[in-house]
Structure 1
Amino acid sequence: MQDSDQAVRIVHHDAQAAAGLAARIGGTAVLLKPLAVEDVLAVAAAGERVPRKSTSFGPKPRTGLVLRTFAID
């Protein structure tokens, strides 16, 4: 199976919608608990990577938001 947006669809925070989508398109819904921050840190410390979208944390900054630190170097 290709790992593309057409082959793998991601539904966040709505198990019923994921199952409904899978039923409509003849696919399979896989429902997973989110990773804990400690798990992500452990994988990173081992030099590995987690699958895409498994670290989809929120809330996200708005597109175009500019951040500036006030620290003086």
Structure 2
Amino acid sequence: MRRLAITCALLLAACGADPAPPPLAGLDLAPCAGWTGGVPDTEQRLMRAAAAERAGRLCANAKLVAVGEGAGSRE
């Protein structure tokens, strides 16, 4: 009976909070690509530049959110 009580206590102790998120060093902190061309001189290039900048900003914002979540869980 004593072994059963000890086993149950150990199983209950193992049920805890979720493990910590990966450390910030594990995140991809490489810069996000944006528009690398020159000043757009046509409407088509302007649309491509706008799309590239939007993709780069979304990538950067996603990384900032991940960093904020990682820092917020340590407090």
Both structures adopt the same fold (TM-score exceeding 0.5): no
The normalised TM-score by structure 2 is 0.22
Q: Which has the higher contact order (CA 8 A, sep 6+)?
A: 2
Structure of higher CA gyration radius: 2
